Chain A
Amino acid sequence: MSQTDVRTPEDLRAAEERLAAARERLKKVIRRSVYVYRIDCGGCNGCEIEIYAAFSPLFDPERLGIKIVATPRHADILVYTGPMTRPMRLPALRAYRAAPDPKIVVAYGACGCSGGIFHDSYGVWGGTQSLFPVDVFIPGCPPTPAATVYGMALALDLLHQKIRGETHTEEGTPAQVAPRYPEVSPALAVRIDREARRLCGYREGRRIARQYLEFVREGDPLAVDRKVKELVKAARDPRLAEVYLTLHQIYMNAGAPGGAEAAEGRS
């Protein structure tokens, strides 16, 4: 962990003032487009691909007055991507020194913000923050082109920041957490949920399991049977029908409402 990760309120205020001053000078003194230079400090190139996607005609940040340049000597914004690796820290510092003041430093991507998935790797010094103060963080792995445009607009004070730090404490919230599928036996719910996820992945599987268990929760076994048959008949995708029938098989084998105990006994 870098020493800059823990910052005092004075440091924060100084950083905010510096960013505000840089923005003012960019707007008032320079009176032209801002130039962006990006430095890859050892990332996987995913961030570079997304930066160039962001500068494609689809998003076209040049209409906001943001251009990419080939040298830090022309740059107003420095975009650091990738974790700060040991061999790249000197080139990163050289680029920082070469860029004329006022400049805005942007940490781009999960690696640039904090070291990302490589944060505890050997030869990685952490995020961009481990070398010099960062003005704007753009998280993402990689950030989408839209997130890139948003981050650049935030750096230039065109848009407002949306995300805020939060701290939750347990006072005032109910201590009891409701189960994911209320009013269904947990043993049956787990079996249905697991099978659905095994068959079609966690996200789609959860959606299907939730719908199936909604039937179980509402009605008696006959009603469940009828509803599932209707659903299978209406399903355009034969795979979906197959998944519903498989889940229904589990429910029927478990022996309808009292089936939870039977399921528990077997597993």
Chain B
Amino acid sequence: MLKLLRKVVQTGQVTLPYPFAPVEVAPDFRGKPVYDFSRCLGCSACARACPPQAITVEWSGQQGVATWSINYGRCIFCGRCEEVCPTGAIRLSEEFELAAARAEDLVVRAELQMTRCSGCGEAFAPGRELEYVQASLQAVRGTVGPVLAERLRLCPRCRRGAAARSRRAGLPGGGGSR
């Protein structure tokens, strides 16, 4: 009995005051993936990488809107989305207090406007992504020529057609996307 009491006094209190005081999490703790809409391109890399399909991107070519959404109720907090995001739009935070009374509160959605193909008029890619690609090409090559700039505004199908036509005509820009 005395032995036990000594042990108790030696150990002291181990219980954390958690719900009434914040608890410390480990460094690099993988908590709630926080979405920064202002940095999102709508490129769907996260949706392709997400193992449980908690992140989805639905494209509507007719309406010209790409809808990005994450369901925290399905997320397994693996961090693949953070790994593949080219701009750092999604980042795992240290937030773990995610419990909610409604399933709707666990969903974050974002709507991105898509660019329409200058050939066939169907929406084919988010506008932000095209702008980003053009800016990157500009930075790498110094300049983006008129042929390339025009091709960027075509959907893949129309782009193939345009490349084939210009190749047949012997115009510059044939034989590939450059």
A residues near B113, Cβ cutoff 8 Å: 170
Tally inter-chain residue pairs, CB-CB below 8 A: 188
Which chain B residues (67-118) contact chain A, with CB distance < 8 Å? 71-79, 82-83, 86-89, 95-113
Interface residues on B, range: 35 or more
Bound-state CA distance A256–B129 (Å) is: 29
Report how far A114 CA is from B54 CA in the complex, Å: 10
- Do A165 and B98 form a contact, CB below 8 Å, given A64-B19, A115-B74, A173-B37? no
CB nearest neighbor in A for B131: A176
> Residue B153 at the A interface, CB < 8 A?
no
Stretch at the interface among A95-103, A150-158, A234-242: A150-158
Q: A5 at interface (Cβ–Cβ under 8 A)?
A: yes
Q: Mark A157-168, 1 if CB is under 8 A from B, else 0.
A: 011011111111
Q: Is B10 an interface residue (CB 8 A)?
A: no
Are B106's CB and A113's CB within 8 A?
Answer: yes
Assess whether A29 is interfacial by the CB under 8 Å rule.
no
Q: How extensive is the interface on chain A, given as a class?
A: 35 or more
Give the distance to chain B from A256, nearest Cβ to Cβ, in Å: 16
Which chain A positions have C-beta within 8 A of B87?
A: 177-180
In angstroms, how far is the closest chain A Cβ from the Cβ of B52? 4
Q: Tell which of A113, A164, A165, A186 touches B74, judged by Cβ atoms closer than 8 Å.
A: A113
Q: Quick check: B101 and A147 within 8 Å, CB to CB?
A: no
Q: Which 7 A-B pairs rank lowest in CB-CB distance, beginning with the nearest?
A: A113-B73, A151-B99, A141-B76, A117-B52, A168-B110, A168-B37, A202-B83
A sample of 16 inter-chain contacts (CB < 8 A) reads A15-B102, A57-B15, A138-B98, A139-B98, A150-B18, A150-B97, A151-B99, A154-B99, A154-B101, A166-B109, A167-B108, A167-B110, A175-B131, A180-B86, A186-B136, A261-B140
Query: A-contacting residues of B (Cβ < 8 Å)?
Result: 14-16, 18-19, 23, 25, 28, 32, 37-41, 51-54, 71-79, 82-83, 86-89, 95-113, 127-128, 131-132, 135-136, 139-140
Which A residues are within 8 Å of any B CB, using their own CB? 5, 12, 15-16, 19, 57-60, 63-64, 107, 110, 113-117, 119-120, 127, 129, 134-141, 143-144, 146-147, 149-151, 153-155, 158-159, 161-170, 173-180, 185-187, 197, 202-203, 260-261, 264
